[in-house]
């Protein structure tokens, strides 16, 4: 195996005295892991920060062997680590990607979406400018992994009108009238996920609650992955930011 590609750093784990195992999301080859010699050194730590973009070179004698990885920085998002809300968003989005995706399977649409979300977090002057993109990224990830929600028609009436709820059991949309008797047991279906465009904060929080329910149930709990604390930090900081 010999591959040169750009990669978005998604996870870094110390290995040995100074090395690191790094997982990066590549445009055409999906999530790939590699061992970076000296990856925990003072020189490379700023390069190997989750959300940075690097030029990556993977080398391995066999496909089963953990590849050796060398990197060169293309774009750093280190300045955002001093901003608690932006840092929490970068931390959660990259951790979710690294924890959810199987290695070596291409997800070009997810790569582009992740690049877009990280770029929006970096560019937007306020969280409202990127929070909608984050919710959409989480929905896309669910869909790409086979857990997409059915949000086009009401599960009860088969109508496409007035869809305001989602069943937490089936992931299907429910109309206002059909869901009224069960409103306390349903998840809100925010309008921006149906109609596109911007969203107000209550809808954004509802969107995060919606995606968070299915991410936890279908992906994180199923794989016994405990990164929920990263998402809790993000949601709490968002709520404080708009309070």
CATH number of 2-76: 2.40.50.140
Q: Where are the domains of the chain?
A: 2-76, 80-151+189-242
Contact 135, 116 (CB under 8 A): no
Return the exposure string of 140-179: e unless at least 16 CB atoms fall within 10 Å of the residue's CB, then b.
bbbebbebebebebbbeeeeeeebbbbbeeebbbbbeebb
Ordered per-residue pLDDT tens for the chain, 243 residues: 899 999 999 999 999 888 999 999 999 999 999 999 999 888 999 999 999 999 999 999 887 789 999 999 999 999 999 999 999 999 999 999 999 999 999 999 999 999 999 999 999 868 888 999 999 999 999 999 999 999 999 999 999 999 999 999 999 999 999 999 999 999 999 999 988 888 999 999 999 999 999 999 999 886 667 787 888 889 888 888 776
How many Å apart are CA 104 and CA 12, to the nearest integer? Answer: 17
pTM value is 0.93
pLDDT on residue 224: 63
End-to-end CA distance of the chain: 51
The candidate with the shortest Cα–Cα distance to 31, out of 61, 49, 56, is 56
The CATH class for the domain spanning 80-151+189-242 reads mainly alpha
């Amino acid at each position: 195996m010999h591959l040169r590609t750009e990669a978005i750093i998604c996870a870094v784990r110390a290995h040995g005295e100074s090395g690191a195992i790094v997982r990066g999301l590549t445009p055409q080859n999906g999530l790939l892991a590699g061992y970076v010699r000296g990856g925990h050194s003072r020189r490379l730590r700023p390069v190997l920060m989750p959300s940075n973009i690097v030029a990556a070179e993977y080398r391995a004698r066999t496909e089963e062997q953990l590849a050796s990885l060398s990197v060169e920085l293309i774009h750093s998002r280190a300045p955002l680590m001093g901003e608690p809300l932006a840092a929490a968003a970068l931390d959660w989005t990259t951790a979710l990607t690294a924890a959810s995706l199987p290695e070596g399977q291409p997800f070009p649409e997810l790569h582009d979406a992740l690049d877009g979300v990280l770029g929006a977090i970096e560019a937007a002057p306020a969280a409202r400018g990127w929070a909608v993109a984050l919710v959409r990224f989480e929905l896309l990830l669910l869909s790409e992994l086979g857990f997409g929600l059915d949000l086009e028609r009401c599960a009860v009436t088969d109508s496409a009108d007035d869809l305001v709820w989602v069943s937490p059991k089936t992931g299907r949309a429910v109309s206002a009238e059909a869901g009224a008797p069960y409103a306390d047991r349903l998840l809100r279906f925010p309008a921006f996920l149906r109609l596109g465009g911007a969203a107000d904060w209550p809808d954004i929080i509802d969107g995060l609650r919606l995606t968070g329910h299915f991410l936890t149930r279908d992906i994180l709990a199923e794989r016994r992955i405990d990164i929920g604390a990263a998402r809790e930090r993000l949601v709490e900081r968002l709520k404080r930011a708009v309070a």
